[in-house]
Amino acid sequence: MFVDKKITETHHAQSPADTAIGHVANTDHGHHIFDVEFLSYLSTKISSFFGISENSMFFINLGITKHVFVLLFISTLMVLSIIGLIRNYISHKNNIPNKLMSVVEMFVVYLKDDVLENFIGKNYREWASLIYTIFFFVLFANISGLIPFFDLLGLFGKLGNNELLSNLSHGGATITANANVTFAIATITFVAFIGAGIKKYGFIQHWKNLAPSGLAWPLYFVVVPIEFMGLFIRPLALTLRLAGNMMGGHIALVIFITFIFSMADSFGAWAGFGIAPFSIALAVGLTMLELLVAVIQAYVFALLTAVFIGMAINVDH
Amino acid sequence: MGAGLAVIGAGIGIGLIGYGVAQAIARQPEAAGEIRSQTFLLAILVEGAAILLGLLSLVL
């Protein structure tokens, strides 16, 4: 148990803030974990079609970075596990849910009773599949961010000098801490709640429903812009809420851990040892909190989607 | 600084919601389920504003 000078020196090169950002951020766009020839060919073709140069910020990059890889992995895992579980459950005659199935059932029933029936109303079945999909996707993504499998892979990669594994290192991958991912989900919500209103009331009546009828006419100059802005603020708030929550939690977690190294840096190795029990205890507690937040944020995303769809469908004025 | 202000605002807001909920459930225990789901919604909206501002203060 001896902290070698070399270790503290290598950590000196990276400030705690850099480590924290590396933990939540995606890999660089020029830094793919898999090099798929076809995808990079396609990216250059599409970008040059729109007249975007290679070095531009708007370069359309289809390469597989860390977050894209995790996104694909989680989606596959989610679809296979959830569909497999439910198929298995339905096909059995005696209908006794196994352990995993009872967890899924708990979430499904809770969402149905508390969210769907309350906010969407009697015809909740129409939108149930969308809301369940959003809930389980966000849940899987949030929880997978708490499992440090990339750190472990990165460690093995450093030991064996494997290029693929060391590309995967620097931190876990909470894809929901990436605002691009949450914005994509929020866009689905945005399309869904506009589509829900249009489907129920027709195109023109839906837009009329946005502003309450029966006000004195000068008020419409105030109400209509506010409602219109609200329309776009809703998906934006969804995006930032999820991304901010996940990113904030993970940055706090990493900063608690890097306390050890910054103390060791400035006051010597023994200060690092001294602070380690406290910062690890805090980090463990914070991880428990993050587990709670992961489920709550998935619930919140599903809840708000249901609320917005319900607002478009049940117009009560 | 900005993050601190955002937290103060959200803290007051969520505190008021919690106060209201505790009173409402005490008066009508049978309506607890319905009150709770409404609470979630309100707390989320308040928290959403706080996170938005917190993030803004982080970026700017």
Which string of DSSP letters, residue by residue, matches A151-163? Answer: HHHHHHHHHHT-H
Higher pLDDT, B19 or A266: B19
Q: Which residues of B touch A (CB under 8 A)?
A: 33-34, 37, 40-41, 44, 47-49, 51-52, 54-55
Q: Which residue has the tokens 């929550």?
A: A245
**Band of pLDDT at residue B7, cut at 50, 70 and 90:** confident
Contact B51 A245 (CB under 8 A): yes
How close B8 comes to chain A (CA, Å)?
Answer: 17
Report which of residues B1 and A19 the model is more confident about: B1
Q: Which residue of A has its CA nearest to B45?
A: A237
Give the pair of three-digit tokens for residue A278. Answer: 């406290």
What are the structure tokens assigned to B55, written together? Answer: 């993030």
Neighbours of A100 (CB within 10 A): 14
Write down the pLDDT at residue A132. Answer: 92
Say which of B33, B34, B55 has its CB closest to residue A244.
B55
Q: Are A140 and A174 in contact (CB under 8 A)?
A: no
**A–B: how many Cβ contacts below 8 A?**
31
Written as one string, the DSSP assignment of B4-39 is HHHHHHHHHHHHHHHHHHHHHHHH-GGGHHHHHHHH
Decide if A45 contacts A60 (C-beta within 8 A).
no
C-alpha to C-alpha distance for A131 and A124, rounded to whole angstroms: 10
pLDDT at residue A246 in the model: 85
Give me the residue from B37, B54, B55 closest to A118, CB to CB. Answer: B37
Instruction: Tell me what pLDDT residue A157 has.
Output: 61
Residue of B37, B44, B55 lying closest to A114 (CB–CB)? B37
- Which position has the token pair 């140069």? A53
d(CA A223, CA A202): 22
Contact A140, A78 (CB under 8 A): yes
pLDDT at res. A191: 93
- Give the closest of A114, A244, A303 to B54, CB-based: A244
Q: What phi and psi values does residue A127 have, to the nearest 5 degrees? A: -105, 0
Domain boundaries, chain A: 2-28+68-313, 29-64
pLDDT recorded at residue A170: 55
- Alpha-helix residue ranges (DSSP H) falling in chain A: 5-13, 16-24, 37-49, 66-91, 99-111, 125-146, 149-160, 163-168, 179-201, 203-209, 220-267, 269-313
Q: Which fold has domain B1-59?
A: F1FO ATP Synthase (1.20.20)
Pick the residue from chain A with its C-alpha nearest to B47.
Answer: A241
Instruction: Tell me which chain A residues have a C-beta less than 8 angstroms from the C-beta of B47.
Output: 241
CA distance A13 to chain B (A): 24
The whole-angstrom distance between B54's CA and the closest CA on chain A is: 9
Decide: A198 and A187 in contact? Cβ < 8 Å: no
Query: Is the Cβ pair B54, A248 closer than 8 Å?
Result: yes
CB contact under 8 A, A240 and B41: no
Residue A3's pLDDT is 39
Instruction: Please report, for chain B, the start and end positions of each structural domain, with discontinuous segments joined by +.
Output: 1-59
Contact state of B48 with A307 under an 8 Å Cβ cutoff: no
Contact A199, A130 (CB under 8 A): no
pLDDT value of residue A5: 39
Q: What is the ipTM of this complex?
A: 0.73
Q: Is residue A132 a contact partner of residue A192, using CB atoms and an 8 Å limit?
A: no
Chain B residues in contact with A114 (beta carbon < 8 A):
33, 37
Alpha-carbon distance A204 to nearest alpha carbon in chain B (angstroms):
29
Contact residues, chain A, for B53 at CB < 8 Å: none
Query: What predicted TM-score, i.e. pTM, was given to this entire model?
Result: 0.80
Q: How far apart are CA A247 and CA B34, in angstroms?
A: 31
pLDDT tens string, chain A, 317 residues long: the values are 333 334 444 444 456 566 566 666 666 555 566 666 677 777 777 777 777 766 666 666 676 777 788 888 889 999 998 888 888 888 877 677 788 888 888 888 988 888 888 888 788 888 888 999 999 999 998 888 888 776 666 666 666 665 655 555 555 577 888 888 899 999 999 999 888 888 888 888 778 777 777 777 777 788 888 888 888 888 888 888 888 888 888 888 888 888 888 888 788 778 888 888 888 899 899 989 989 989 988 998 998 899 888 888 887 65
DSSP structure class, residue A114: I
